[in-house]
Amino acid sequence: MSFLLQSIYVFFGMLGTDWLWTFYIRRSAEGRAVSSGFFSLLIMAVGGTVAINYVHNRWLLIPAALGAGVGTASSVWWDHARKKKDVPQNPPA
C-alpha cells in the first residue's frame, strides 16, 4: 500500500475512532452497559488496526493526530448540534 493510501486510511481510522469514543463516553455516562461495551469493542478493533499501521511508519503519526483532532472536534460539534435540536428553544410558560 502506498504512503498516501496509508495516510488516508490512518486519518479516517482515527477520525472514526474518536467518533466511537464520543458514543462510548455518552453511553457510559448514561449507565448503558451493553451499548458502552459494544462501543468499547469497536474502539479497540478500529484503533488497534490503525495503530498497527503507524507503528511501522512513524510518519503516519501525523495523519493519525490530525484524524484524532478532526474526529473529536466534529463529533463534539455534531453532538452539540443534535442536542440543540432536541431541546425546545422557547419552552411554554
What's the CA gap between 42 and 23, in Å, rounded?
11
The pLDDT > 90 percentage for the chain reads 63
Q: Extract the C-alpha cell encoding 7.
A: 495516510
Q: Is 1 helix (H, G, I), strand (E, B) or coil?
A: coil
Mean pLDDT, the chain, rounded, equals 89
Domain ranges within the chain, ordered by starting residue = 3-86
What's the CA gap between 14 and 50, in Å, rounded?
7
The 8-class DSSP code of residue 84 comes to H
- Position 87 scores a pLDDT of 63
Q: What is the dihedral of CA 7, 11, 13, 17, to 10 degrees?
A: 150
Rounded to two decimals, the pTM is 0.79
Give mean pLDDT, residues 3-20: 93
